[in-house]
Chains A and B, each alone.
Chain A
Amino acid sequence: MPDAVSPRGFWGKLGYWLALLFTGLLALLWAVPVIWAFVASTRPPTEPLGRGDVWFGSSLTLVNYATAMSLAPFKLYYINTILIVTMILGVQIITITLAGFAFAHYKFMGKQLLLFFILLQLMIPTTALLAPNFSTIRALGLFDTRLAIAIPYFGSAFGTFLMRQAFLEVPRDLVDAGVIDGCNWWQLLRHIYLPPSKSMLVAFGLSSVVWHWNEFLWPLVVTNSDKSRPLTAGLVRFTQLGEIGAQWSLLTAATLLVVAPLFIVFLIFQRQFIQSFVHSGLK
């Protein structure tokens, strides 16, 4: 509801301030898990948590991060995650732009049918198909590779649909002018369709990166060794290492290692992130 409805009278103002107080408390409650994780990760490892003593230790330390890094190959996990996410995004940008352009610009036989076929991916999410897709990965000889984690996402119904929508909003006159000037399809796409659609591409890109950075189940299924394992699957393995037990400061440090890059970028570009998520969802 718009802010234009400003509170009036004593009760209106009281309600307004109570609502603000409630908002603050609720927000604090929602943030407690992450705040606690951060605080606990700075506790000296010699001071285990106990009843009523779960926040700061007697001093601040970064040693837990170093220990976590030494107990599991987080550096390798980072490289894997970054490579997987980049590979997916790189291919997706090409496939969704080309397909989106074809659907928005051209008239051709079977267009509706083809679009429907691709949109099947929205109705049957790849996550649900992990068993048969595992067989495919095995048959292709890709098991336990980074490519195996990335390849099912190279075509994106969602991205194709978003780009088609963005391209459809490009004014027809602009396109016609380009056509009359003798642009070929690549020039049309590059100079007329893409410039006004960049924000949509960025929006899709951000949500794709977040989604695949965070994905766990599919990587778990198709990896078998650290050479291809991403951060999420690495973290779960780490939490199950025998020697870790209930060393919470170590566990939280490892958890934050997984989260940190994405979280820092998010904190800096908060507005753009949220905008992106809205765009890539709503349009």
Chain B
Amino acid sequence: MSASASAVRKRKRRNPILPYLLILPTFFFVAMFTAWPTLLAFYQSFFRQRLNIAKFREPTFIGLGNYATLFNDPRFLLVLKNTLIYVLVTAPISIVLGFLFALLINRAIKGIGLARLAFFQPTILPMVSAATIWMFFFTPDYGLWNTFLQRFGYSGPQNWTGNPDLALIAIMIVTIWKNAGYYMIFYLAGLQSLPTDVYEAATLDGASWWQMLWQITFPLLRRTTLFVSTIAFIGAFQMVDHIFVLTKGGPSRASTVLLYYLWQMRFENQDVGKASAITIILIIFLLIFTVTNFALSERKEEETHA
């Protein structure tokens, strides 16, 4: 690189206003629909305001009152419990299934494309369409879900979406069915970028398939796993569309999770204060999961480089 070229580059890469103008549109929309609402929810969470009760229509400062009421409310504690179960069960199972699918279809044989298609197609479906189809599967008496289970000797309750012990499980089944194929494609991309010579060497050393899976494939795919877990955990907090179709959070809140409860609080109860407090609690949960994953991936990066 000649001296004049680098001088030109340096001069041209600085501009007093243009970069700010180019970023301005994005900045404006992020400020308006991410930063501002976060601050607004934080502020409003300290006020009592219910739009459907005349004397509470105007906001009154109550400090941490909304948070205190929520954490003393067994309904809210149940919702928190449901949310943690929902996230901590669906994310890992979907990830493991995604990995299994990727292992199974990572072969160059005819017809394997059909299997890939079968596993991936739920990703393309809108969740509400998927839920409408599954509504039939969970129908008592002639629904396919019970019919399928009965083949394996199941004789338990038939009404999955109407049974407090089963409603959350039914919701989780649909989530897992929909997400596993999405995570599969990241593992598939990861598997296909693995160096083949390592495996050839391991085969020569007499390593079994199982050993190679645990000692070579898994460690090499660590970055993929961290990325997939980040999107899986964060995504799970936001996946509630099917609840609107299948259970409406019931029976007796057995399948209500945080985001659904937030919607109910704001748009059914018209309780702006509590809905704002729930928004902040949801954001804190999301940040905890993002930061943990980020910290984990940074640490693993260092180990890899060491």
A residues contacting B by CB (< 8 A) are 1-5, 15, 19-20, 22-24, 26-28, 30-34, 36-37, 40, 49-54, 94-96, 98-99, 101-103, 105-108, 111, 114, 117-118, 120-136, 151-152, 154-157, 160, 173, 175-176, 179-180, 185, 210, 213-217, 220-221, 231-232, 235-236, 239, 246, 248, 251-252, 254-256, 258-259, 262-263, 266-267, 270, 273-274, 277-278, 281-282
**CB of B267 within 8 Å of the partner chain:** yes
- Chain B residues with CB under 8 Å of A94's CB are 25
A129/B19 in contact, CB under 8 A: no
B126/A214 in contact, CB under 8 A: yes
Supposing A123-B290, A239-B245 touch, asked if A31 and B227 sit within 8 A by C-beta, the answer is no
1/0 per residue, CB under 8 A from A, across B112-143: the answer is 11111111111111111110111111010110
A-B contact count (CB 8 A): 302
B34/A126 in contact, CB under 8 A: yes
- Chain B residues with CB under 8 Å of A273's CB are 124
- How far is A107 from B126 in the complex, measured between Cα atoms in Å? 41
B22/A129 in contact, CB under 8 A: no
List 26 A-B pairs, Cβ < 8 Å: A1-B103, A1-B213, A3-B108, A40-B136, A49-B136, A49-B142, A54-B142, A106-B13, A117-B27, A117-B31, A120-B30, A120-B34, A124-B34, A125-B234, A127-B259, A128-B283, A131-B262, A131-B276, A132-B41, A136-B40, A151-B29, A155-B30, A217-B241, A252-B133, A266-B124, A277-B185
Supposing A95-B26, A258-B129 touch, asked if A132 and B40 sit within 8 A by C-beta, the answer is yes
Q: B233 CB to closest chain A CB, in angstroms? A: 12
- Chain B residues with CB under 8 Å of A270's CB are 113, 117
Supposing A102-B19, A125-B234, A179-B9 touch, asked if A278 and B186 sit within 8 A by C-beta, the answer is yes
- Chain A residues with CB under 8 Å of B266's CB are 130-131, 134
Q: B48 CB to closest chain A CB, in angstroms? A: 15
The 3 closest A-B pairs by CB, nearest first: A155-B29, A132-B37, A214-B126
- Chain B residues with CB under 8 Å of A23's CB are 104-105, 112, 115
A114/B186 in contact, CB under 8 A: no
Supposing A23-B104, A103-B23 touch, asked if A221 and B263 sit within 8 A by C-beta, the answer is yes
Q: A207 CB to closest chain B CB, in angstroms? A: 10
**CB of B240 within 8 Å of the partner chain:** yes
Prevailing SS type, chain B contact patch: helix
Closest to B224 in A: A282
1/0 per residue, CB under 8 A from A, across B1-16: the answer is 1000100110011110
B26/A160 in contact, CB under 8 A: yes
Q: B50 CB to closest chain A CB, in angstroms? A: 13
B41/A278 in contact, CB under 8 A: no
Closest to B235 in A: A125
**CB of B170 within 8 Å of the partner chain:** no
Besides A36-B133, A131-B279, 11 other A-B contacts (C-beta < 8 A): A3-B106, A30-B177, A40-B136, A101-B22, A108-B20, A136-B40, A157-B30, A239-B132, A246-B139, A252-B136, A277-B123
